[in-house]
Chains A and B, each alone.
Chain A
Amino acid sequence: MNAIDYSAERYWEDVTVGEELPGFSVALDATAMVLQVSGSQDWNRVHHDTAFAQESGMPGIFYNTGWTTGMLGRLLTDWAGRSGWVEKLSFQMRGMNSSGAVVRAHAKVTGKRQENHKALVELDIFLQNDQVGVTTPGKATVRLPLRSGGAAQS
Chain B
Amino acid sequence: MSNIHPLDYDLEAVRAEWVGKLISAASGRYPVEYDPIRRHCHMVGDLNPAFLDPKIAKAGPYGAVISPPSMLPTYFAAGGPWPPLEIANIESDGPLFTFGVPTPGDRGINMEVAWEFLEPIRVGDVLRLELRVADVFKKPIRLDPHAIWIVVETSFMNQHDAIVATWRNTMLVHRSPEQVARDAQREAAAGSAGETA
Interface residues in chain A, defined as those with a beta carbon under 8 Å from any beta carbon in chain B: 2, 4, 6, 24, 26, 35-36, 38-44, 46, 55-57, 64-74, 76-78, 82-83, 85-93
Known A-B contacts A6-B50, A41-B82; the reply to A70 vs B112 at CB < 8 A is no
Query: Which residues does chain B contribute within 8 Å of A93, judged by CB atoms?
Result: 109-113
Query: Which residues does chain B contribute within 8 Å of A89, judged by CB atoms?
Result: 69-70, 113-115, 117
Q: A56–B177 Cα gap in the complex (Å)?
A: 7
Known A-B contacts A39-B39, A39-B43; the reply to A73 vs B83 at CB < 8 A is no
A42 close to B176 (CB less than 8 A) = no
Q: Is the interface of B mostly helix, strand, loop or mixed?
A: mixed
Q: A23–B121 Cα gap in the complex (Å)?
A: 25
- Inter-chain CB contacts under 8 Å: number: 139
Interface residues in chain B, defined as those with a beta carbon under 8 Å from any beta carbon in chain A: 36, 39-50, 60-61, 68-72, 75, 80-83, 97, 107-117, 143, 174, 176-178
Q: Give min CB distance, B142 to chain A, whole Å.
A: 9
Most buried by A among B43, B61, B109, B143: B43
A43 close to B40 (CB less than 8 A) = no
Query: Which residues does chain B contribute within 8 Å of A90, judged by CB atoms?
Result: 112-115
